[in-house]
Chain A
Amino acid sequence: MRRFILRRLGQTLLVLLVMSFVIYGLIGLMPGDPLDVMIASNPGASPEVVARLRVIYGLDQPLMLRYAHWLLAALQGDLGFSRTHSQPVLVVLAPALWTTCKLMLISFVVSVILALGLGIVSALRPGGWLDSLISLAAFAGISVPVFWLALMMILVFAVELHWLPASGRETVGDGSLLDVVRHLIMPVATLALANTGGFTRFVRASMIETLRMDHIRTARAKGNGEGRVVLIHALRNAMIPVLTVMALSFGTLFSGALLTETMFAQPGMGKMIYDAILSNDFNLALVGLLFATLITLLSNLAADLAYAWLDPRIKL
């Protein structure tokens, strides 16, 4: 097990190294240079000023040389300076990461709990009215665009009912736990609803397949209660393929909740990476994307470890 983990961590580092090179190169291929964005928003900048800034930001150097400088500094713990924020990348990254962690972890847990419950109920009576209803809701969750769902929530719960704040992380001057929770309800609900549909379908399919297996019939024949059969014997086996899907989604969630973050003014990793790419902020975009890659790789490692725990026959 220890050897497996060490090997995977080594592979992770290698992937990050390759990804850093690829991402830096790809951002460099985008049209225009980083200062074009600055000039577009500040037409007052004269060509002389722009030329000076190009030297200050090191943009007069070839792309690969800039990458080499970044890599060398990164190996010594300096992940670089964000051009747009004029601050070290880690300083910019930290608050975005905290927001994302709050949003993603809570919505992920909520959607997993909902999906497990609904998927199991659905799988117990496939084709029944409850299964049809849950399937309909799941498909609706998968199909509804996130920005629309978010906007509808704001219109209903903030504009019409005035129950919840429409946006932001907290009320200035309040910031109590209750206030933070109230600000989290709509973005978490939006993300959870968007994810629950897909997860529910996977849990349902996997459970239906598992419930037909011989060992389940054996468990029932031994006189185990239906609850024990479903929750202990079936669910444990059914979770193996579901875990893969969830682990992959978890990584995506860290960088892909752009719309939710934008609609509810909860700036996290997705928004930060998107803005950094658009404004050619190489260092920030690179570190943000590498972080999302790292989360995906680590969540897959966690999923692999969970397989072994769920099914002792699996050798790592």
Chain B
Amino acid sequence: MSEVALPSGAGVAAGVTDRETAAAISPRRLMWLRFRRHRLALASGAFLLVLYVLAAFCEFVAPYGTTTRNDDAINAPPMGVHFFDAEGRFHLRPFVYAYRMEVNPDTWMREYAEDTGTRHPIRFFARGEPYEMWNLFPMDRHLFTTDAGTYIHLFGTDPLGRDMFSRVLYGGRISLSIGIVGVVLTIVLGILLGGIAGYLGGLADRVVNKAIEVLQCLPSLPLWMALSAALPVHWSPLLVYFGITIILSLFGWTALARQVRGRFLALREEEFVMAARLIGADTPRVIRKHMLPSFSSHIIATATLAVPAMILGETALSFLGIGLRPPVVSWGVLMFQAQNPLVIELTPWQMFPGLFVVLTVMAFNLLGDGLRDAADPYSTGGMK
């Protein structure tokens, strides 16, 4: 890849300034210039960024906590945000209508409709339910909330009258972070073992390779299930969280390790690596300065593509009831509550967590594809 100067016209098209001539562009910046052309990947990256920021500040963004119940809204549907009321008058401050509950005389189901007589104006940055930001700072301001005595449920409520929107946000914090933490572990394991195999070769290489082959033969879901079932029941939710992360990454590192090994094997024979050794650079320096930078972009791309597997793993385990358990809220835990087909029939808004899983996984895949293409323009499905 070294002999590529620039993708055609990148200097002009990508808005390189005159001062910054093509000659002085670093490979990293070249990668960014190529990545910028993948609109879909860029949009996915932005979407994920927003999602992660929302999840990081979910106490502030969510109007309610995960256990706050609203007895007036059991299994209530999502609310619409309005600017115009029933009489057609415009309100600068958006509002939602209160629920009007009726029990269907035939089915004995609670049915909700908008009570157009009662408006709940939405207040931004207003005081609402008190909470502790990151379990540290007591606060009571929310991004949006409604006045005391009124309520807002953008995604509806669950059978206990808890706000789905808030729960999806809190669940996102767990599900999204498990992906990142798991991938960090995966990367550490993958680079370490793949690096050892690729750099040392010989016996180490054979041992690591056999381990990878054995691990890849095992069907992952039953194994995850067995391992999660082995987690002690009395563990705190935090311990279970880390237990699950470790279980997921224990099987996730193999693909990355193979890649790293392959790169190491190829790079070890590169002349610039030999040149570095002949200069007198010791092994750590050769690896750090000459080998790792040559495939760090590939690692980033691979890692990005590995996050969705982690998120799906957590979701699958929790969905089956053997991963995280209530009172911890994750997308998988939320979907566990929506396992019953009746739920899909009668209260489909309880599937919102599933929608977020789908969107997140898709965004990560698109972002990863874009990064991979940008890192290596000669890979299949490169730039269009």
- A and B part of one assembly: no
